[in-house]
Structure 1
């Protein structure tokens, strides 16, 4: 039985009507992600919700997405501002492949929300930058 917006391709932790209808399936290359490990581990690709990190209550859908950037300079700026990554984080490069999920349009800082289908090994789409 469908829950209205969730088509069964998403994790059980996704709220109804998430991802938003404006999110599109497309290839995006390159994308950059902040990780704590290099080479990255599976947990480096957890969403805020999967990692039990705090997020604003009105941002639950965004908290189910994986954050990536399309501009290397913008992710370098984000790394300096986010305490968790400032001194021990890594920037890794990868790609979004349309078959892996859907994405938001990049914001003014090149940030993209990537809602990944259940069962996708996101790690394999990123390079080891060690």
Structure 2
């Protein structure tokens, strides 16, 4: 009888661990409290574009400004600074002359990529640990190849 109760307790504990891991996803980067924000949601299957330093891309190309310890725009909170910044249209990147020496990566994302918050043609993407942005990059090209 005691062994049965012990087995039941172990099963309940295992179920609680499984349930808690299903509720709390694991993210690629350490995120600040309350991040991603409550209005972030799984992205639809789509192509997005991101500036990169490398061609071919490497994992480092998809780190957030916060992980890279780069200065962010005034008014950018720690949560947004912890996201991977991508765009829904490649032509939006051509409007950023400050980043003229960069490459542009075309990235395929979906609901398994992470949580996202879209604002106009920009998306903050908080990637799940299980998502590999390098493997989901379909092509990389020079910024000069973008059409205005």
TM-score w.r.t. the length of structure 2 is: 0.70
Q: Report the counterpart of residue 112 of structure 2 in structure 1.
A: 99
Contact persistence 2:108–2:138 (CA under 8 A): no
SS in 1 for 2:112: helix
Q: Report the counterpart of residue 115 of structure 1 in structure 2.
A: 126
In structure 2, list runs of 5 or more residues that go unmatched.
Answer: 1-22, 142-148
CA distance in 1, matches of 2:29, 2:105: 28
Q: Deviation of residue 118 (structure 1)?
A: 2.4
How large is the Cα RMSD of the aligned pairs?
A: 2.1
Q: Report the counterpart of residue 63 of structure 1 in structure 2.
A: 81
Q: How many equivalent pairs are there?
A: 118
Q: Deviation of residue 57 (structure 1)?
A: 7.1
Segments of 4+ moved more than 4 angstroms: none
Q: Deviation of residue 20 (structure 1)?
A: 0.3
CA distance in 2, matches of 1:96, 1:42: 15
In structure 1, list runs of 5 or more residues that go unmatched.
Answer: 1-5
Q: Deviation of residue 101 (structure 1)?
A: 0.6
CA distance in 1, matches of 2:68, 2:45: 24
Q: Deviation of residue 119 (structure 1)?
A: 4.3
SS in 1 for 2:77: helix
Q: Report the counterpart of residue 58 of structure 2 in structure 1.
A: 41
Q: Deviation of residue 26 (structure 1)?
A: 2.4
Structure with higher helix content? 2
Equivalent of residue 90 in structure 2, options 64, 72, 75: 72
Change (3 A) 1:9 1:57: farther
